[in-house]
Amino acid sequence: MLIRPYGDTRDDGVIQFSFTLPMPYSVKAADVGKQFLEKLGFHTVGIAECRAMDPEYTFFVAYARTDVGIDPDEVKGDYLEVEEMDFAAINALIKERLGRKLGVVGAAIESDAHTVGIDAIMNMKGFAGNYGLERYPEMDALNMGSQIPCAQLLRTALERDADAILVSQIVTQKNIHVQHLTQLIELLEAEGVRERFVLVVGGPRINNAFAKELGYDAGFGPRTTPLEVASFLAQEVVRRHEEA
Amino acid sequence: MLIRPYGDTRDDGVIQFSFTLPMPYSVKAADVGKQFLEKLGFHTVGIAECRAMDPEYTFFVAYARTDVGIDPDEVKGDYLEVEEMDFAAINALIKERLGRKLGVVGAAIESDAHTVGIDAIMNMKGFAGNYGLERYPEMDALNMGSQIPCAQLLRTALERDADAILVSQIVTQKNIHVQHLTQLIELLEAEGVRERFVLVVGGPRINNAFAKELGYDAGFGPRTTPLEVASFLAQEVVRRHEEA
Amino acid sequence: MSDALQLNGDLVDRARAAADAIADDIQRHIDEHTTDTTERASLRLLGITGVNEIDVPLVNVVVEHARSLLPSGILRPFVDLMDRTGRGAQEVAEGVAAGELTLAPVPPERCEGVEARAEALAREGVARIDAVRARRNELVATVGEPPKPYVYVIVATGNIYEDAAQAKAAARAGADVIAVIRTTAQSLLDYVPYGETTEGFGGTYATQENFRLMRAALDEVGEELGHYVRLCNYASGLCMPEIATMGALERLDMMLNDSMYGIIFRNINMQRTFVDQYLSRLINARAGIVINTGEDNYLTTADAFEAGHTVVSSDFINEAFALRANLEPWQIGLGHAFEIDPAKPDQVVYQIADAQLIRQLFPGYPLKYMPPTKYMPGDIFQGHIIDGMFNFTGILTGQEIMLLGMLTEALHTPLLQDRYVSIRNAKYVFEACRHLADEISYKPSGLIERRADEQLRRAVEQLEHVRSIGLFKALQNGEFADVKRDPDGGRGFEGVIKVAPDYFNPFFAALREGRMSGPPRGTERGETTAGDSAVAGGGD
Amino acid sequence: MSDALQLNGDLVDRARAAADAIADDIQRHIDEHTTDTTERASLRLLGITGVNEIDVPLVNVVVEHARSLLPSGILRPFVDLMDRTGRGAQEVAEGVAAGELTLAPVPPERCEGVEARAEALAREGVARIDAVRARRNELVATVGEPPKPYVYVIVATGNIYEDAAQAKAAARAGADVIAVIRTTAQSLLDYVPYGETTEGFGGTYATQENFRLMRAALDEVGEELGHYVRLCNYASGLCMPEIATMGALERLDMMLNDSMYGIIFRNINMQRTFVDQYLSRLINARAGIVINTGEDNYLTTADAFEAGHTVVSSDFINEAFALRANLEPWQIGLGHAFEIDPAKPDQVVYQIADAQLIRQLFPGYPLKYMPPTKYMPGDIFQGHIIDGMFNFTGILTGQEIMLLGMLTEALHTPLLQDRYVSIRNAKYVFEACRHLADEISYKPSGLIERRADEQLRRAVEQLEHVRSIGLFKALQNGEFADVKRDPDGGRGFEGVIKVAPDYFNPFFAALREGRMSGPPRGTERGETTAGDSAVAGGGD
Ligand code: B12
Ligand code: B12
Ligand SMILES: Cc1ncc(COP(=O)(O)O)c(C=O)c1O
Ligand SMILES: Cc1ncc(COP(=O)(O)O)c(C=O)c1O
């Protein structure tokens, strides 16, 4: 079933907008804003605010309606469906079915210096009240921190014979993260070791579908908890181990 | 020249959106929002917020880009170009060129009880530091107040042989103002007195083009000052007087 | 913080004395008059409902039919006709509407019996109200209470089903009180529309069926959330006591009920309004409903900085009328507002002074604090911040009923998401600043204390002046909200009737008799929604 | 409000004593070392600029070329070469770069003469800085000063021309300080890029030409607005003294300059950073530049509620280092931040305590107050309100440099309109609450005073502990920001050089000699933009 935005009345299609046009404010500025939104396909445009921000720019706040709808059932994607387990169950799974510690190496790579995200997943104290991977007795987790070159990350993962590599990418401006993430994949492939690792990426602008596209095994977005990641890693590593 | 919204970089086309979709939040909700904006013709969609507002509704905040531009020079409209005069000049104009007091009757019509707007224009104390029409010695201004039926307004205007009728319309929901404003025009026409009056409407959702479409002589929007209105009235009534 | 400002106790006493005298004076007028809607409300209290074939409510038909009998009250002849026909109230009303039955003066010999039966019926009517109140008490006790201040938002789609859906969403987002705004001109109708409605603009018709539908929706969501969700509607208008009756029967929890709002803002005749508000408030009092007064409105037409004291004096007047109508302090939600121009330097400092003054003048009263409206800009981001400072002032000064400002106030009645973001705004500010009031004190004789003192002084002056000229005259002079009204002008004047010496209406006594007292009590439940950590949102 | 909280003066004295001892200890290390960038900066102060054919700055080429001479300082051999060739500094550097000229140790007999000439050249170099400072004083005196607090916003497009356009728009909207954020990894470059740049991500390259372009843009808009608009950039990183030199010459007004930020957040070697910060601060001091320290960053990795005291102790340490580098209190913009989780009950109450404490501990210092960042949500409306409460806390506690929070903090570097709405937010809150601080006092021994006292106590404990183990060790333990660093690890360690007994660098003395004192003074101009009344916007 098609649905449309719900403002005041179901299906009214109301959307709120704000934007800046690089033009001086004038008596007709509001009409420019209105006709612009009409050109974009909206109707019943109400310009709520239209104000000179500066002699060269005009700021707009508007409400308008669309007749376009979307059917949520037709939106299909590569969503990660992890069966979330608890701390004890994860450790038990690794112990019983893998039979050794699960090795994890993580880092914020290349120019990215944001560690709070990867720390939240890996460090002892964890995040949102649940422990980080370092606390799992059945994991051997190393958080390398920030600005780690891809080559160094790989070297460490190989040295430690890790099962999984966790990468954090927070800065996404000018798609710098795509560049870094691709660089890592290419390195792994060039070295012929891509298949040796469960490769995971996370960050506020990451999702699973995007991660898959880039060649990663999974992607985690904002508000990820260590438990989700640990559940995924344990299940995936055990699965691969048993398949092999 | 075509211009596009200016977010971070000139011509990047960035627009901010917020809207509510009538669907439960789920892991794919962000994708539904993203694909919806793509269906509307936007690209580089970033879903900033996607949160259950309720089991049935999901709230979105997003940024996305458009490639559509608009040429402000091609936006033409029926803008009111009033040469703004000062208090003394307006009175002088009326005195010298009309030779009698300029009669004005104003009201918020029909179900509309909002008088602050019309009071700002007409009452002694005025608005934003400039006097209302009642203060002009060369005007004979009557503010009838709120909820005045069209018929009563017309009756009063005829009785006082007014030159201008000022109407305020603030409530616009379900286009109730269009209904009221049309009703007044039809009444004036039915009585054959449309041409006797300079007919003006004002309110926060009114502009000149819209007023003209409905058959009014001028329309005034938000932040109108009494001086603008007085300037227009004096010039327009004098013009008609001299043409007649 | 309840005595954070040093106020001059003498001035407070003088204000109350003057307000009392003003109200006593008007009360004499009230006691000497009845109105169409007072009589119609009395019939509704007997249980009469429904409309005729052209949608005129039966109570209007009956009162119209018996116009000549009204000076003595409709109830004596009506109950007499019930007696004579042996039919119930509803059947008699239908009979009258059908033209089958005719109301007639009651001969003296039947009076005593008829009056006794009418008194019994009045007690039954009041008992129905009591049962509803008892049900509220029970629900609050079992479902639980949300923490204060109450978060109050409006719905106004015109369609009661849409309103109900939106009200539920708002409650889930953290609203504690839902007010259904009436459609634009309803308050000027001299009857109450009937049945469920799905159209209206700027609001939804207030009908008994709509009340019932919304009540059911809120009970459902209250159960789900673990705290009682309150319902509010508007009594003020041409049918105050009738709507109050409907509210009492359908378990509304709050009603906008002002002794002067209709006069000033709806140009309803003042003689009419004072009479109407009296019965409507007696009913609200009985029903355990909290009233909200409308002083905030003054500051939309008059300047909030200059005329702030008129809010204070009007609050004293509304209090005096409310106490005369048997309302208990916990039921008297006096109104005030955050309407000083945000461009005024130190706006928030002055708003704190005003709000704190009113808080201290009316301890124990559930003050209703209205958000900025008149100066709200089209720039919703800026509006949202002004609302944030309103929320701050509210929590700092201990207001109990916070009407939330909407970032789109200048634009449209609230969208679903407008309420959501406003509630998030309020919940954050309330939690983040909850105990700030306990931590600070105001500098003696500082700007805040001086402003409060000046407001109080000016209010006393105004009240004593109004006492000397009488309230009718003051309204005529435009002393409230800069709006002038004629005692014989405005709508509904034709419905004001001087009562005859034998005027009879047992409800006035029945409503006062043996009433319950005190607010409903429940344990504080419902956690705050601010609890969900706001860590970096997003993800696409 | 400057002494609104009762603080324990003993604790304050103990904190300063410990910080002094900590800084003295490190100062010994500083005095015994030089670094590549210290030597390069000295060359820049002589007037050397430009790059070779592969874009390596000449100063880098020269220092690299003379690596073996560095323990005695580059200046003696360099000036000697100038003497010997009779060429100017720039020409000599070019000659060295071209491989034409070679630096060599100066034989003892020439030393005295060379040193005297080097001292004269150093005085000339410093005079150029003084001239720039005098120009600032003159401009501020003629153009005027904006009112406090300063509204500080960032630009970060990567393109200096785009940055300039946006900076002007921001200034017109009310910004008083414009900071140009450096491109993401610049602080890890061991050289300063050259020339104007139009590409960078997450920020724009800090180059001398970019500084100049932005300075010109801001002077232009300042003239237009009638108040001086300040320019800020970042010194911390691998080239602190060099960037400080560029800032001094291009009339920057503020620089982010922290004695430990590079160590903790950029993993720059600590031995290097302490040496670098010293010369960079001496230069900032001479240039009349206000430094901003980076304690706010601690609260992005450590929890603001738990670790708030580390900000306090670090502020004492930064103060001690700053005073040792000749900075005057009005130049020391100590950093702190509003980073307690907004979901924490009474968040604002605690933030007030923390901010007021720092205000009182450092009277006369232009505190730099950082907005919420880590907990900013994707919901921009909610984020805007959190920023509003930050603005409120800032004005209430008398902060002087307010970095404005952006409603899109969780999403992207600010859009043009993000700055605009944030500035409107701040201007409104500042004006609306401007004198609230004068009106209130804090309850003795209340939540606020107790929190402040506890923070101070914990800071003293930490400082005394750091004094006992030494700052190097404390950094190794991760005692600031939960980040651990190795004294011999991190970037730039290879550029730390133990000085020989004959180390010679006349700038250290020249920078201290006969300096001007005090801030620039101008009459407060520029009205507030909150002045435009916010009456109902809209119109379509
Ligand atoms: C803290 C912070 C910093 C700190 C970082 C300290 C540190 N050691 O981490 C400092 C001050 C150093 C910093 C610097 C910069 N920052 Co910064 N910073 C932030 C800030 C405020 C908070 C990030 C954060 O800690 N969030 C909290 C954590 C818990 O959330 P999270 O990272 O999303 O992580 C969660 C999930 O995403 C996921 N996750 C994340 N990683 C991983 C990895 C795996 C394997 C998995 C499974 C899950 C996962 O799980 C986590 C828990 O749920 C954000 C703004 C914001 N509010 O988001 C800006 C922000 C990220 N920074 C930004 C920028 C531009 C910079 C600079 C480049 C600015 C500059 N030019 O100087 C610098 C340079 C940094 C660099 N070289 O990378 C921009 C990025 C814009 C963009 N989209 O590209 C932001 C968005 C601010 C802004 N609006 O401009 N920053
Ligand atoms: C004050 C107010 C009231 C007061 C009015 C008191 C009074 N005597 O005026 C009271 C409390 C009574 C009221 C009631 C209602 N209100 Co009302 N009210 C407002 C409010 C807060 C401010 C309006 C105002 O005074 N603005 C200040 C003046 C100076 O601005 P202005 O009107 O735009 O006037 C300027 C220009 O437009 C122009 N102008 C205006 N008229 C004219 C005429 C001429 C001839 C000219 C030349 C120029 C001109 O010049 C003026 C000066 O620059 C607005 C929200 C807002 N912030 O705008 C809601 C608002 C207008 N109200 C609204 C509603 C829905 C109602 C009710 C219907 C609610 C209800 N169901 O009960 C009722 C019923 C009113 C009715 N029957 O009309 C909605 C309208 C939604 C819509 N777009 O349709 C608004 C937008 C609030 C909202 N967000 O829901 N309201
Ligand atoms: C006390 C009071 N009654 C009633 C109303 C609403 O009345 P109406 O339905 O006439 O708009 C208001 C609105 O502000 C009010 O304050
Ligand atoms: C003191 C200090 N210096 C420098 C920076 C920026 O450094 P970089 O350019 O390395 O991101 C910051 C950023 O927060 C800072 O606080």
What is the distance in angstroms between the Cα of D44 and the nearest Cα belonging to chain B? 33
Give percent of chain B above pLDDT 90: 89
ipTM of the complex in this document: 0.96
Residues 6+ apart with CB under 8 A from C290: C253, C254, C255, C330, C331, C332, C333, C366, C401
Of the candidates D403, D86, D431, D43, the residue with the CA atom closest to the CA atom of residue D230? D403
Instruction: Please check the confidence at residue D126 and state whether its pLDDT lies above 90.
Output: yes
C412 has a chain B CB within 8 A of its CB:
yes
Boundaries of every domain in chain B: 1-76, 87-243
Taking an 8 Å cut-off on Cβ atoms, the answer to whether A9 and C159 are in contact is yes
Report the pLDDT value the prediction gives residue D2, as an integer from 0 to 100: 55
Ligand nearest to the CA of D301: 1
Taking an 8 Å cut-off on Cβ atoms, the answer to whether B18 and C417 are in contact is yes
Contact D534, C386 (CB under 8 A): yes
User: pLDDT per residue over B152-199, tens digit each?
Assistant: 999 999 999 999 999 999 999 888 999 999 999 999 999 999 999 999
Neighbour subunits, B (≥3 Cβ pairs < 8 A) = A, C, D
Report the pLDDT value the prediction gives residue D142, as an integer from 0 to 100: 96
Contact D332, D322 (CB under 8 A): yes
**Range with the poorest average pLDDT among A20-34, C401-415, D164-178, D514-528:** D514-528
Q: Mean pLDDT across the stretch D338-355?
A: 98
Catalytic residue flag (residue B39):
no
The span from the CA of D9 to the CA of C82, in Å, is 86
B103 beta partners: B140
Phi, psi of D150 (to 5 degrees): -70, 135
Asked whether A160 lines ligand 1 (CB < 6 A), one says no
User: pLDDT per residue over B22-62, tens digit each?
Assistant: 999 998 999 999 999 999 999 999 999 999 999 999 999 99
Ligand 3 center to D189 CA (angstroms) = 66
Residues in B touching C184 (Cβ below 8 Å): 111-113, 171, 176
Out of D187, D233, D236, mutate this one to test ligand 4's pocket (max ligand atoms within 8 Å of CB): namely D236
Residues 6+ apart with CB under 8 A from C17: none
3-state secondary structure of D261: helix
Report the pLDDT value the prediction gives residue C533, as an integer from 0 to 100: 37
Instruction: Please check the confidence at residue D101 and state whether its pLDDT lies above 60.
Output: yes
Give nearest CA residue, ligand 3 atom 8. Answer: C187
The span from the CA of B13 to the CA of A40, in Å, is 12
Give the pLDDT band (50/70/90) at residue C540.
very low
Taking an 8 Å cut-off on Cβ atoms, the answer to whether D436 and C352 are in contact is yes
Report the pLDDT value the prediction gives residue C531, as an integer from 0 to 100: 35
Instruction: Catalogue the active-site residues of C.
Output: 261, 296, 368
User: pLDDT per residue over C45-63, tens digit each?
Assistant: 999 999 999 999 999 999 9
Mean pLDDT of chain C: 95
Chain D residue nearest residue C396, CA to CA: D349
User: pLDDT per residue over B108-127, tens digit each?
Assistant: 999 898 999 999 999 988 88
Out of C409, C411, C422, mutate this one to test ligand 2's pocket (max ligand atoms within 8 Å of CB): namely C409
Q: How many CB atoms lie within 10 A of CB D264?
A: 25
Ligand 3 center to B173 CA (angstroms) = 18
C306-338 burial string, b = 16+ CB within 10 Å, else e? ebbbbbbbbbbbbbbbbbbbbbbebbbbbbbbb
- Strand A14-21: give its sheet, edge to edge: A43-54, A57-65, A14-21, B14-21, B57-65, B43-54
Asked whether B111 lines ligand 2 (CB < 6 A), one says yes
Asked whether D267 lines ligand 1 (CB < 6 A), one says no
Which numbered atom of ligand 4 lies nearest the CA of D237? Answer: 10
User: pLDDT per residue over D172-210, tens digit each?
Assistant: 999 999 999 999 789 999 999 999 999 988 899 999 999
B17 has a chain C CB within 8 A of its CB:
no
Residues in B touching C417 (Cβ below 8 Å): 18-20, 53, 59
User: pLDDT per residue over C1-45, tens digit each?
Assistant: 457 899 999 999 999 999 999 999 999 999 999 999 999 999 999
SS (H, E, C) D86-113: CCCHHHHHHHHHCCCCCCCCCCHHHHHH
Instruction: Please check the confidence at residue D538 and state whether its pLDDT lies above 70.
Output: no
Give the pLDDT band (50/70/90) at residue A3.
very high
Peptide bond into C366 cis (omega under 30): no
Instruction: Please check the confidence at residue C535 and state whether its pLDDT lies above 90.
Output: no
Taking an 8 Å cut-off on Cβ atoms, the answer to whether B47 and C539 are in contact is yes
Report the pLDDT value the prediction gives residue C2, as an integer from 0 to 100: 55
Contact D379, D423 (CB under 8 A): no
Mutant choice from B25, B42, B59 vs C, greatest count of C C-beta within 10 A: B59
The span from the CA of C239 to the CA of D334, in Å, is 64
| D163, D194, D368, D427: the active-site residue | D368
**Range with the poorest average pLDDT among C245-259, C525-539, D202-216, D330-344:** C525-539
B209 has a chain A CB within 8 A of its CB:
yes
The span from the CA of D205 to the CA of C298, in Å, is 56
Beta strand pairing status for C254-256 and B57-65?
unpaired
Report the pLDDT value the prediction gives residue D528, as an integer from 0 to 100: 43
Give percent of chain A above pLDDT 90: 89
**Residue among D162, D381, D540 whose CB faces B9 most closely:** D162
Taking an 8 Å cut-off on Cβ atoms, the answer to whether B3 and A22 are in contact is yes
Q: Mean pLDDT across the stretch D60-79?
A: 98
Q: Mean pLDDT across the stretch D288-313?
A: 96
Out of D265, D373, D408, mutate this one to test ligand 1's pocket (max ligand atoms within 8 Å of CB): namely D373
Taking an 8 Å cut-off on Cβ atoms, the answer to whether A28 and B72 are in contact is yes
Beta strand pairing status for D368-370 and C401-403?
unpaired
A159-180 burial string, b = 16+ CB within 10 Å, else e? eeebbbbbbbbbbbbbebbeeb
A53-84 burial string, b = 16+ CB within 10 Å, else e? bbebbbbbbbbbbbebebebeebebeebebee
B59 has a chain C CB within 8 A of its CB:
yes
- Distance from CA of residue C295 to its chain's centroid? 11
Taking an 8 Å cut-off on Cβ atoms, the answer to whether C410 and A46 are in contact is no
Ligand 3 center to C456 CA (angstroms) = 26
Rg (CA), chain A: 24
* Four-way CATH pick for A1-76: 3.40.50.2000, 3.30.30.60, 3.20.20.100, 3.30.70.1070: 3.30.30.60
User: pLDDT per residue over C417-469, tens digit each?
Assistant: 999 999 999 999 999 999 999 999 999 999 999 999 999 999 999 999 999 99
Which numbered atom of ligand 4 lies nearest the CA of D188? Answer: 10
Peptide bond into A72 cis (omega under 30): no
Q: Mean pLDDT across the stretch D119-140?
A: 98
Ligand 3 center to C234 CA (angstroms) = 6
- Distance from CA of residue B108 to its chain's centroid? 14
Contact D59, D78 (CB under 8 A): no
CA dihedral (D94, D97, D98, D101) in degrees, to 10, reads: 80
Asked whether B175 lines ligand 2 (CB < 6 A), one says no
Residues in A touching C377 (Cβ below 8 Å): 49
Q: How many CB atoms lie within 10 A of CB D271?
A: 24
Q: How many CB atoms lie within 10 A of CB A138?
A: 17
**Ligand 3: lining residues by beta carbon, under 6 Å:** C 182, 186-187, 234, 236-237, 256, 258, 261, 266, 293-294, 297
Interface of A with B in 67-96 (CB under 8 A): 68, 70, 72, 75, 77, 79, 81
Give the pLDDT band (50/70/90) at residue D212.
very high
C301 has a chain B CB within 8 A of its CB:
yes
Helix (H) or strand (E) holding C314: helix C308-324
Tokens of C449: 């204390």
Chain B residue nearest residue D413, CA to CA: B8
Give nearest CA residue, ligand 2 atom 34. Answer: B117
User: pLDDT per residue over D476-522, tens digit each?
Assistant: 999 998 889 999 999 999 999 999 999 999 999 999 999 899 999 99
Ligand 3 center to C297 CA (angstroms) = 9
The span from the CA of B163 to the CA of B142, in Å, is 12
Chain D residue nearest residue C347, CA to CA: D432
Contact A42, A95 (CB under 8 A): no
Helix (H) or strand (E) holding D401: strand D401-403
Mutant choice from A2, A14, A15, A66 vs B, greatest count of B C-beta within 10 A: A15
Which numbered atom of ligand 3 lies nearest the CA of C187? Answer: 10
B46 beta partners: B63
3-state secondary structure of D499: coil
Q: Which CATH architecture has domain B87-243?
A: 3-Layer(aba) Sandwich (3.40)
Of the candidates C236, C286, C239, C271, the residue with the CA atom closest to the CA atom of residue C256? C236
Tokens of D267: 């993993």
Asked whether A113 lines ligand 1 (CB < 6 A), one says yes
Q: Mean pLDDT across the stretch C272-295?
A: 98
Give percent of chain C above pLDDT 90: 94
Domains of chain D: 149-439 (3.20.20.440)
Asked whether B25 lines ligand 2 (CB < 6 A), one says no
The span from the CA of A118 to the CA of C209, in Å, is 56
